[in-house]
Every structure is written in structure tokens, then in C-alpha cells.
Structure 1
Amino acid sequence: MTEAELIPIWISLKTAGTATFITFILGIAAARWMAYGDFKGKNLLDGLFILPLVLPPTVLGFGLLLIFGKNGPLGQLLLYFDKTVIFSWSATVIASTVVAFPLMYQATRAAFEQIQPNLEDAARTLGATEWAVFWKVSMPLAWPGIAAGTILAFARSLGEFGATLMLAGNIPGKTQTAPLAIYFAVEAGRSDQALKWVLAILLISFASIIALNYWKSRQYSSWRSGQPMVKEVVIDAGYRD
């Protein structure tokens, strides 16, 4: 592949990496809050978090346009600071983050909900603070699920098309990700060039699947020999806080 042909791949990787990082932080925070919280409207909020997973990409893209467009609430706020998101690289990150968030959120919330509460309570009785319980007990025990959610979020970000096209457009060298480049190359009859991008995305996606399977096997191995590990984690949180 030529240097010019590598640009859409680089934009896709940069966008997916940034979106995954943001999704990692927001997903863990939202999953922890929803897994342990008990408040009115919890089911409604859970539905809002998962909604991007079931919405058509064009609907999601149109919704983002309404929010970040020049007449939208966030769009007007950005214009006040002489900034704009539409048709910029930031728009590709926003679109990818929104579509990937539900996968990270669901996997992480399920991981937190599978932790036995008595393990966290045991760490507290040993003197661990809530912050120590979270970092030294909850996170290590939920890590296989968090890792799986992270890989799924990265793969989803990498393949995002519809919402990105509506919010960021198809600007070569700026917002043209690999999926967009493939689509417009096929439309222009440049199938040979599109095939190169397809093979690159297939390779990256396949590597993500292998990584996901690796974490699943690690999760199963941890489950089989989990009791010594769990005791060590709880004691470490209590005595080394």
C-alpha cells in the first residue's frame, strides 16, 4: 500500500484508539454506578445507555447532528468559543465513542454484577477504603469482562460508518476512515484499491477477535483457580491500603 492509501487506516486506528480510551473511562464509571446504585429511573437510564446499540446508524448520526450542529445545544456552546465539531476529526471520535459505549458498558456492568458482595465487604472489614475496594478488589475481579468490553468497543469503533459519515463527512486525509474509503472507492469503481483497505481492516479485526478469545480463556482459567486469587486480592486491599 502507498503512503496515501495508508492514511485512512491511520485515521481509523487513531479514531478507534481515542474513542476506546474515552469509552473505557466512561463505560467503567457508568457500569459501576448502575451495578451498585439503586435509584428511581434506573431502568430508563439503562435503556438510554444501550439505545445507540439498536438505533440505525443514520438515525444516530442525525441525532448527533441535532446536538452538535450550529443550531444544537452543544453546537451553539462550541460556537460561543469559536469552535465547531461538524466535519472535523473530533466528529469521527464522537460518533465512534457513542456507538461503542453500549458494548463497553454492558460487558463491564455484567462483570461488576458477578462479583460477590461479601468479597468487597471482607476488604472493608480489613480496613480498606471505598477507593481501595474499587481499585484493588472490584477492578481485578471484573478485569476479564472489562478487557472483553474494551476489545469489542475498539472493534466497533474501527468499523463505524453511518454516524461518522453524517457527522464528520468524507474528507480525505481528515475524516475519511477506512470504512468510508472502502465505500466511496467501490462507488467510484476502484475495487482493487478498496480490496486493500478491506484486507487491512479484516486483519485488524481478526487480531481483535483473537485478543478477545485470549481474554476469555484467561477468564476461564481464573475461574477454575479463583479462590486463592480472590483471597489474595481481598487481603491485599485490606492490609496494604
Structure 2
Amino acid sequence: MSRKIVKNVGTTERIVSIALGAYLGYNGLKNLRYQSVPALLASGYLFVRGGLGYCPISRWLGKKDIHNPAINVKAVMTVNKPREEVYRYWRALANLPSFMPHLHEVAEIDERRSHWIAEMPGMGGKIEWDAEIVKDEPNELIGWQSINGSPVKNAGKVQFYDAPRRGTEMRVIFSYHPPAGGLGTAAAKLLNPLFKGVIENEIYNFKRVMEAGEIPTTDGQPAGKRTGKLKLI
């Protein structure tokens, strides 16, 4: 006798699951290469989650444990460029959307404050918040966080080291809480187990920008040889 699936995903979460699955699947198929695999796997998982209304991850973790989770990503990568150049590009926060597709714009207000606009798949519309630089050690460290009262609690840190042979080793920490409320909580449940794959693609985009000067966008164009190292922790 077949076992009946007990639904543990609400209607809003199912809609967001399908929307996010379509977004990840489209991007993964549009640019088929090694680093697209996590996005394609996530897309399939989200379609099943939305279609069946059942999430094995939610059941395993328990509803109390994922009621309002933070999204935390830690990554280590090597870029074949001098440390000063790599630091300078990231420190100009207006450059971030050039390799992070979910960021629509980052406008620098002054030396420490900036205004962020993001388009998160499945959440509908744009989300805006202000952030400030809390730590800045030239060529070594950049740290930022959203200011109090922002609709998104975002924080990040990037450390820069001379790589053993040449280039720059980067250690990146990125974390945030989605907006409060039903949809924000639903999106948090969706992104938490999958977001590392999305960020991995965006970090690799940073390598492409620094090493090749651009991210190829022509459909069907073969990806260039992957250089340096990229490791998600």
C-alpha cells in the first residue's frame, strides 16, 4: 500500500517554490556549465516542493527550527589578480550588481553609507535597504551591515590575502534575514538550504569580471576555462 504524503508546505510557500524553481531552472539552462548544476538541482527540488506541497527538509529540521532562519554563506576563492586591485573593485560597492544578479543597484551615499536595491526571485518586486561600512582595512578587510530599521537585515565581510603562488585569496561571508511577514518567512525557508549554490554562481561571476573583464551573456557561447580556486564552506 502506497504511503500518503502529508503536506507541510502552505499555499504561499508552494507558489514561491514554483516561481523560484522556474527562475533557477531558466538561468541554469541558459548558461549550461559546471557551476550551473547546483541551480538545476535546486530548481528540480523546488518544483517538486511546490507541486506536492511537501518539504522533506522542513520535516527533518522541524517547523520550530526553521521558523525564521538566517541565510549564512561562507566561501573561499582565489582570483588571479593583485590584492590591491581585487580589494578596490569590491570596495566600490556600486560594482556589486555587475556580478551579483539579484542586486539591481547599490548606490553609495557617502564613504560609509550605501543604498541597496535587490530583486529576489519569487518574492515579487524590489526590496530596498540602507547599509553602512563597519570595518574597512585597505587591501585586507571590508565589513558591512544594514542599518537599524531596515526591512532586510544584511551583513557581510570580505577578507583579502596574498595567495601562496600568485593572485588573491578571498574569504567571503554573506548573511541576511528576508523581510518580516508571511512571504518573507516563506522565502527564508526556501532559500536557506539552497542559497549556497546561487551565491557560488555569483562569486564565480566575480572571478570572471576580475579575470576576463566581463561575464559572457550570449546564449550558447561556451564558458571559458575555469581558473583559480573556488570553494564553498
* TM-score interval, smaller chain: under 0.3
User: Which structure shows the bigger proportion of residues in strand conformation?
Assistant: 2
**TM-score, normalised relative to structure 2:** 0.25
Q: Could you state the TM-score of these two structures normalised by the residue count of structure 1?
A: 0.25
Higher helix proportion: 1
The higher-RCO structure (CA 8 Å, 6+ apart) is 1
Greater gyration radius: 1
